[in-house]
């Protein structure tokens, strides 16, 4: 059996772990995003909720699928031979946390503007800033508090 850039001996285990982490992270993101969207009114002077109560079902479901796909892609990327290095799984895990931080940052950013200000969609600075902050903090925490244990967990 020849190993190529698209296959690895540990392919199913690593991809499954990244996917499960992504699914769990997506569910947690949905539990954070749903109250943000429901209890923040669309018009700041209004006291009515900004979304229907169905957001408590839809936000976790949509975030579960989104972060599951991100975890699947990053898990596949961790098993390829294109990325080398001892810490590649930890860095890709921090990328997943950065994507989650960017998603929460984008949600908070969209909730802070008026409905009429549609130029917020053209401004990508807020999610990129949140991604950079969360990624840097996660990578520093992984390096300082046991990145080697995480590497062993992703290698088996």
* pLDDT tens for each residue of 107-145: 887 777 654 455 556 666 878 888 999 999 988 888 777
Task: Tell me, yes or no, whether 28 lies in a domain.
Answer: yes
Question: How many domains does the structure of the chain reveal?
Answer: 1
Task: Tell me, yes or no, whether 118 lies in a domain.
Answer: yes
Give the predicted TM-score (pTM) of the model.
0.78
Q: DSSP alpha helices (H): ranges in 40-124?
A: 55-79, 88-111
Task: Tell me, yes or no, whether 53 lies in a domain.
Answer: yes
Copy the structure tokens of residue 46: 């209004």
Task: Tell me, yes or no, whether 148 lies in a domain.
Answer: yes
Q: Which domain holds residue 96?
A: 11-155
Give the Cα separation of 97 and 47 in Å (integer): 33
Average pLDDT over residues 6-15: 66
Higher pLDDT: 80 or 27? It is 27
């Amino acid at each position: 059996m020849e190993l190529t850039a698209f296959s690895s001996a540990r392919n199913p285990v690593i991809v499954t772990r990244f996917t499960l982490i992504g699914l769990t992270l997506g569910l947690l993101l949905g539990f954070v995003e749903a109250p943000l969207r429901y209890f923040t009114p669309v018009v700041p002077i209004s006291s009515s909720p900004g979304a229907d109560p169905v957001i408590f079902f839809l936000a976790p479901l949509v975030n579960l699928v989104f972060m599951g796909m991100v975890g699947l892609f990053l898990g596949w990327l961790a098993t390829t031979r294109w990325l080398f290095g001892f810490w590649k799984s930890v860095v890709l895990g921090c990328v997943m946390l950065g994507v989650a931080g960017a998603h929460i940052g984008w949600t908070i950013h969209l909730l802070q503007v008026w409905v009429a200000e549609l130029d917020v969609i053209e401004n990508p600075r807020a999610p990129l800033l949140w991604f950079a902050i969360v990624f840097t903090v996660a990578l520093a925490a992984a390096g300082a508090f046991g990145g080697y244990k995480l590497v062993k967990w992703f290698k088996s």
